[in-house]
Amino acid sequence: MGPGWLSDEEQRAWLAFLAAASLLERRIGQQLEFDADLSHLQYEILVRLSDSPSREMRMSELAAALFNSKSKLTYQIDQLEKSGLVTRRTCHSDLRAVWARLTDAGVRKLEQAAPGHIAAVREYFVDVLTPEQLSAIADGLSAVTRRLRPSAE
């Protein structure tokens, strides 16, 4: 092993993570597209808005919460708005701020999509792991997220 190279166990963990993340994202995306005609990102947008007070969030905060660029989020919000699932409004006190709000149709869409999504997450992720593995993954990936998350602005 040369300087800076990963050990065999580090390489095994890294490659396992890459494969699992890619396969999970593809499978979950396919499930949501087939069952609910939503992308995975669109589903997560609806979830975040649903979980926020008054079902709305500032677009910049929503992008940060989803670890996504503002331009990619704007495109997805455009699509959700065309479908009647989300609306946008500007802030009267700060004209640069735009808020995204979940509509009643968006709530219904989320309620329709959630059971299939949850079943897929359980089948392909949760039920495959022991409680100890699930806890270790949550702890480990939370540490990675803390390391990579941009500092609060």
Model pTM? 0.88
Q: How many CB atoms lie within 10 A of CB 97?
A: 14
pLDDT band for position 14 (cuts 50, 70, 90): very high
**Rounded distance, CA 57 to CA 101, Å?**
7
Tens of pLDDT, residues 66-112 = 988 888 999 999 999 999 999 999 877 666 789 999 999 999 999 99
Element (H or E) spanning 15, and its range? Answer: helix 8-36
Residue 152 has pLDDT above 50, yes or no: no
Residue 95 has a pLDDT of: 63
For 57-102, the DSSP string reads EEHHHHHHHTT--HHHHHHHHHHHHHTTSEEEEE-SS-TT-EEEEE
The burial of 139, by beta-carbon neighbours within 10 Å (0-12 exposed, 13-18 middle, 19 or more buried), is given as exposed
